Amino acid sequence: MPSDTIRAALVRRLESSSGLSEEDVAEIQALPIAVKHYPAETPVVHDGERASECCLIIEGFCARSKTIASGKRQILSLHIPGEIPDLMSLFLHVMDHELSTLTSCKLGFINHDALRKLHRRRPAVAEIFWRDTLIDSAMFREWIVNVGQRPAPARLAHVMMELRERLRLIGRVEGASFEMPLTQEQIGEALGITAVHANRVIRQLREEGIVELHRGRVTVLDERKFLDLADFDGRYLHQSPTS
């Protein structure tokens, strides 16, 4: 994979959400990135760790999570190529949660100092990355609402819908279907329910002809019903520079 392809998804995403000048793009392209491969289901950055670099997802799916004293785990967000899930570590020096892979991944590591220097040199770039962390924050807010207020079937539909919208941006939705490589255990951890209940809910959505979930791939069977159930308003994704 040529070096510019590595950065392409990142630039494309930042461009669509924030707008970038040519010089900004050039500067971002010039950032040194160390590429590493990780197998599926592997921690990348640990809770409690003091990070000195950020992690760009080049290929594969990741998730962020926190584990509480009782051993229960909550998935906080899902991440796809072009995203930097731990950008926050730039200023929050010790990690308060974990970043791990869901599938096998190609990840690019960008040094904190390099990023900070770029920000001082080009405040406009800093603002774009700041905005990116704010969108991340907006997604957490919606995740709170999802887990706090929606019944389990709507929760699942909403998470699927959000993932689809984000995958669409990077051209990864194929007709009525897209990837969502989580086990039912992980789906439960994302929705704040048990794996058994996750299974019930998945079955229910299948039986009602709304969505099919098989082998880490979602297929929407009835778009109208899916929309109704998900109760999705994508404003919180702030996908346009003016929103």
**Residues of the shown chain interacting with a copy of itself in the complex, contacts defined by CB under 8 A:** 48, 64, 66, 68-70, 72-74, 76, 88, 91-94, 96-97, 119-120, 123, 126-127, 130-131, 133-138, 140-145, 147-150, 191-192, 231, 235-236, 238, 242-243
Q: Given the complex with a copy of itself, which of 59 and 132 has the nearer CB atom?
A: 132
- The closest alpha carbon to 111, from 130, 89, 127, belongs to 89
Q: Are strands 43-45 and 177-179 parallel, antiparallel or unpaired?
A: unpaired
Q: Are strands 177-179 and 62-67 parallel, antiparallel or unpaired?
A: unpaired
Q: Given the complex with DNA, which of 172 and 200 has the nearer CB atom?
A: 200
- The closest alpha carbon to 146, from 213, 70, 77, belongs to 77
Residues that bind DNA (CB under 7 A): 41, 151-152, 183-185, 188, 192-197, 199-203, 214
Q: Is 35 helix (H, G, I), strand (E, B) or coil?
A: strand
Q: How far apart are CA 70 and CA 68, in angstroms?
A: 6
Least distance CB 226 / DNA (angstroms):
18
Q: Is the distance from CB of 41 to CB of 155 less than 8 angstroms? A: no
Phi, psi of 124 (to 5 degrees): -65, -35
Q: Given the complex with a copy of itself, which of 59 and 146 has the nearer CB atom?
A: 146
Residue 195 interaction partner, one of DNA, a copy of itself, none, beta carbon < 5-8 Å per kind: DNA
Q: Given the complex with a copy of itself, which of 58 and 159 has the nearer CB atom?
A: 159
Least distance CB 196 / DNA (angstroms):
4
